[in-house]
Amino acid sequence: MDAEQQLQAIKQAKVLMVGAGGIGCELLKTLALSSFQDIHIIDMDTIEVSNLNRQFLFRQSHVGQSKAKVARDAVLRFKPHINITAHHANVKDPEFNVDFYKQFNIVLSGLDNLDARRHVNRLCLAADIPLVESGTTGFLGQVTVHMKGKTECYECQPKPTPKTYPVCTITSTPSKDQFEGGGGGVSLPLARNFSLPLARNLLTGTISLSCLVHPCLSFSHLCTPVLGCFILFVHCIVWAKDLLFSKLFGDKDQENDLNVCSNNATSSSEHAEDVFKHILDEDIEQYGRRIYDHVFGYNIEVALANEEAWKNRNRPKPTYSSDILPDKLIQQIGNLDNGATDDPSSVSAMGSLGLKNPRDIWNLEENTRIFLEALKLFFGKREKEIGNLTFDKDDQLAVEFVTAAANIRAASFGIPLHSLFEAKGIAGNIVHAVATTNAIIAGLIVIEAIKVLLCDTNSYRMTYCLQHPSRKMLLMPVEPFEPNKSCYVCSETPLSLQVNTHRSTLRDFVEKIVKGKLRMDFPLIMHGSALLYEVGDDLEEDMAANYAANLHKVLSELPSPVTSGTVLTVEDLQQELSCNINIKHREEFDEENEPDGMLLFGWTQAPPMNMDNSLPV
């Protein structure tokens, strides 16, 4: 390739980089050093301490600032005369629409989640802009080139659904209904096909328990309907994080089944829903103990009352705070009274209790202390945040609280306890990351980007970076796959849907298919020229009312009836994605195997987990 021609192509290119994290930092540096002149960066994140082991454009002093902006400034220091535009914003914001994408020659992605990747993929297809996609985890990494019509798109192959934890509350009879974990129902045979080798890899390659998260997940997700409740530490973490923590510190009004009572226990007033409410002037520790006794004591008793459920199981043991910790907590150093100067983000229950090593496994008493102390600290030091908190793996106090709560629950179920370090890995879904892999991957992205700019289509490669050499090679380049002809995202092939048009409502269709499977966020549904449904802020009131009314109607009774043979057009204007669905009426569905009551064809079910689904970048 002529060097001058290559340089010109690089200099004239306008590049969009999404993600300024681990890969992003390396990528921006490499782009700048490779003479790229016009680069836009989008990243909504701010810098955290745990980024500093690899995101080398950031320093301790930048913690809390926008990644996109700090990265731009850092690169401009050694390459002052190029144009870098930083957008501290969500890549899914409407301002980044198809016209925005069209100004670029190429999009380079170093994102950390499936949802955003999918969105970028759809917009690149709509704008017909080539996309170089990447991801790393630990020593593993990969780079792929997606070019409409030439290579497969990001969604041509089934992608794993984001990790969803089965929330197993076990406050009453464990039953099928309780295992509504969040992720759509996984079809068992399919899930089985992929999982074993992967689960095995993950398991045999473990260094820390954090890796166990993945197999546990898919595993418990799979087996819950089949074999009942598998109580694992992961469940305890999920319970502590998604139920207890968000009940106490998050949005109070959210639906939350922490209080589910079994049918034979009538809820006394004491144990009514408001048990989680902090009564005015109530001593915080008193409040904490009340919560403690309710969730670890009373709820377990209620669950135990159902003998049938425990016939083949290890019976859990109700735990009450006064049994573990008869005396009131002693006022700790650095606690409520003398900490006026304390920065709320550095508040730590471990600190005030003198526990130092995050790798130690606390005993039940220590966990109980941490639980009560952390609750006290939240109310004493961070009261303003209560009601709006969501769990954050870098929030020390939140991690302490969740660890303690999960451990107390684990203890009562006879499950081994875990250290804060391990619990944090599970709760935060932490994927490990090092600079070296990111640097290699960023280099490969730029190499592919240059080929794309030179239209050197035959040279595109999909490259995997391995941890252990395979056939003496650490980098495995392979030729990219052709587009999947039946991909609903990048091909015109219509989907088809079997559904009982007399029984399923438009809402069922929107939730289970359009959002659940096609992953559209702002759908618009048309039957010919008739608009059946639309989402948006700027809808006329009467239209909105119309759509709301339609949602409740069964398909065959919509203003423009949907029956066998109907072709529906479903669109998401923000994703610029549109697809047609052929409707076929079918009377009966098997409840066990087809729980949605409808079946979509031409769409590939994603496996429930895969190691690349939350690549850290």
Partner 1 sequence: MAEPKTKYDRQLRIWGEQGQAALEKASICLLNCGPTGSETLKNLVLGGIGSITVIDGSKVEAGDLGNNFMLDESSIGQSKAKCVCAFLQELNDAVKAKFVEESPEALIETNPSLFSQFTLVIATQLVEASVVKLDRICRRGNVMLIFARSYGLTGLVRISLKEHNVVESKPDHFLDDLRLNNPWPELKQFAETIDLNVTDLVAHKHTPYVVILVKMAVEWAERHGGCLPSTREEKKEFKEFLKSKTIALDEDNYKEAIEASFKVSTPRGISSNLRQIIDDSAAEVDSTSSDFWVMVAALKVEFIANEGDGEAPLEGSIPDMTSLTELVTGFVISSAVNLSRTLLLSSYDSETIVLLYTYKTDHCQLSCRHYVNLQKIYQAKAEADFLVVEQRVRNILKRIGRDLDAISKTNIKSFCRNARKLTVCRYRLIEDEFNSPILPELLKLLTDEDYSVAVGFYILLRAVDRFATNYNRFPGLFNG
Residues annotated within a binding site: 19-24, 43, 51-54, 67, 112-117, 153, 156, 487, 490
CA distances from 132 to 40, 107, 140, 177, 302 (A): 15, 6, 17, 42, 54
* Min separation Cβ 213 and partner 1, Å: 11
Q: How far apart are CA 103 and CA 51, in angstroms?
A: 31
* Residues 481-540 within binding reach of partner 1 (CB under 8 A): none
Tell whether residue 313 is a contact of partner 1 (CB under 8 A): yes
Please give the single-letter amino acid code of residue 478: V
Number of residues that bind partner 1 (CB under 8 A): 78
Find the Cα–Cα–Cα–Cα dihedral 355, 359, 360, 362, rounded to 10°.
80
Of 76-84, 147-155, 510-518, 545-553, which segment contacts partner 1 by CB under 8 A?
76-84
CA 42 from centre of chain: 19
Of 156, 160, 193, residue with least CA distance to 481 = 156
Of 369, 390, 352, 361, residue with least CA distance to 288 = 369
* Residues 451-470 within binding reach of partner 1 (CB under 8 A): 468, 470
Q: How far apart are CA 609 and CA 617, in angstroms?
A: 18
* Residues 55-74 within binding reach of partner 1 (CB under 8 A): 56, 59
Q: How far apart are CA 20 and CA 107, in angstroms?
A: 13
* Min separation Cβ 309 and partner 1, Å: 11
Token reading at 543: 């239209």
Q: Which residues pair with 16 in a beta bridge?
A: 40, 107
Considering only residues 312, 341, 388, 458, which one is a binding residue for partner 1 as defined by CB under 8 A? 312
Q: How far apart are CA 76 and CA 400, in angstroms?
A: 40
Comparing CB distances to partner 1, the nearer of 124 and 309 is 309
217 phi and psi, to 5 degrees?
-60, -60
Considering only residues 11, 176, 192, 317, which one is a binding residue for partner 1 as defined by CB under 8 A? 192
Of 198-206, 319-327, 540-548, 570-578, which segment contacts partner 1 by CB under 8 A?
198-206
Tell whether residue 78 is a contact of partner 1 (CB under 8 A): yes
Tell whether residue 436 is a contact of partner 1 (CB under 8 A): yes
Residue 280 DSSP symbol: T
Tell whether residue 317 is a contact of partner 1 (CB under 8 A): no
Tell whether residue 384 is a contact of partner 1 (CB under 8 A): no
The position carrying tokens 């220091």 is: 77
Token reading at 573: 């204007």
CA distances from 531 to 526, 534, 542 (A): 5, 8, 13
* Residues 241-270 within binding reach of partner 1 (CB under 8 A): none
* Residues 112-171 within binding reach of partner 1 (CB under 8 A): 138-139
Of 36-44, 157-165, 295-303, 309-317, which segment contacts partner 1 by CB under 8 A?
309-317
* Min separation Cβ 189 and partner 1, Å: 7
Token reading at 97: 């629409």
Of 194-202, 238-246, 511-519, 596-604, which segment contacts partner 1 by CB under 8 A?
194-202
Tell whether residue 29 is a contact of partner 1 (CB under 8 A): yes
Residue-wise over 454-467: b if at least 16 C-beta within 10 A, else e? beeeeebbbbbbee
Tell whether residue 473 is a contact of partner 1 (CB under 8 A): yes
The annotated binding site for Zn(2+) is made up of 153, 156, 487, 490
* Min separation Cβ 328 and partner 1, Å: 23
Comparing CB distances to partner 1, the nearer of 38 and 400 is 400
Q: Which residues pair with 568 in a beta bridge?
A: 527, 581
Comparing CB distances to partner 1, the nearer of 168 and 579 is 168
Tell whether residue 195 is a contact of partner 1 (CB under 8 A): yes
Active site residue 168: yes
Of 531, 485, 484, 469, residue with least CA distance to 506 = 531
* Residues 206-245 within binding reach of partner 1 (CB under 8 A): 206-210, 212, 215-216, 219, 222-223, 226-228, 230-232
Considering only residues 166, 425, 523, 608, which one is a binding residue for partner 1 as defined by CB under 8 A? 425
Q: How far apart are CA 368 and CA 360, in angstroms?
A: 15
Considering only residues 447, 462, 489, 520, which one is a binding residue for partner 1 as defined by CB under 8 A? 447
Comparing CB distances to partner 1, the nearer of 223 and 260 is 223
* Min separation Cβ 448 and partner 1, Å: 12
The answer to whether 416 and 407 have CB atoms below 8 angstroms apart is no
* Min separation Cβ 207 and partner 1, Å: 5
* Min separation Cβ 609 and partner 1, Å: 12
Considering only residues 439, 514, 525, 573, which one is a binding residue for partner 1 as defined by CB under 8 A? 439
CA end-to-end distance (rounded Å), the chain: 31
* Min separation Cβ 111 and partner 1, Å: 17
Comparing CB distances to partner 1, the nearer of 416 and 528 is 416
- Evaluated on CA atoms 396, 402, 408, 410, the torsion sign reads negative
Q: How far apart are CA 164 and CA 469, in angstroms?
A: 32
25, 124, 168, 211: the active-site residue: 168
Q: How far apart are CA 305 and CA 19, in angstroms?
A: 51
Q: Please list the active-site residues.
A: 168
